[in-house]
Amino acid sequence: MAHHEKNTAHTEILVGHISRLTAENQAQKNHQLRDRRDLEARLDETERFVTILQHDLRLGPLQAVFEHVWKLQPYSSLRHAYSTPGSGVLSSGVLCVNTPGYRMELVADVCRPAPGSVQALHLGLKMRIHPGEHDGLLPWPFAHRIRLVLVNQFDDAESRRFELDTSTAHHARDCLKKPAENAPNPMFGYSQVIPIPLLENEKKGFLVHNCVVVKLIVFTAD
């Protein structure tokens, strides 16, 4: 009899222990279910946020290489610019390199020789970075490789190419920094791209039908 009572008590202890384990297991499952639902809700919220952000920013596919062709046409406008006192530059207008992206401007000017020099006038091609509404999303300083091309319209092999590795252009640090809110950075680029007499010799292929072609290439994947 005593042995039977002992077995009964032991069984009750085991049943109680199993009941507690079952309850703890169910509580853990309920907790995991709540965590999973919370995670799914956070993922849904993140997805909605990304959708809203893409809509607000009007994100386009990021291009590994950005290219822009600038036609200085009619060329006579450039000739007029550098021959008119107080003038001397032409602008491409502000370009957006990817969306969202850096805002850049191409500038054509004429480098005049020092007084008394016999050196010819030269065409200069320069760039400057303008402030943009998405500058806070972009890495600074600007560190993408840039290529400027003065296109030879007769023979591309004769085109003049100038490449700038901005990641090592420490001398241009002020030009490549994040611009102030209301002012573009200083210009950077090349002052002597081609002598003006050579440029204006229409047999050479740089000036065709009163048009000079410049190409800006930014290697945005670098």
pLDDT confidence bin for 127, thresholds 50/70/90: very high
Average pLDDT of 88-101?
87
Average pLDDT of 170-187?
91
Higher confidence at residue 78 or residue 51?
Answer: 78
Task: Answer left, alpha or beta for residue 148, where phi above 0 means left and psi between -120 and 50 means alpha.
Answer: beta
pLDDT at position 76, please?
A: 85
Task: Answer left, alpha or beta for residue 210, where phi above 0 means left and psi between -120 and 50 means alpha.
Answer: left
pLDDT tens profile 128-141: 999 999 899 999 99
Q: pTM to 2 decimals?
A: 0.70
pLDDT at position 87, please?
A: 56
How many other C-beta atoms are found inside a 10 Å radius of the C-beta of residue 109? Answer: 21
CA of 92: how far to CAs of 48, 59, 109, 128, in Å? Answer: 38, 23, 12, 11
Q: What is the mean pLDDT of the chain?
A: 84
CA of 117: how far to CAs of 88, 120, 167, in Å? Answer: 20, 8, 35
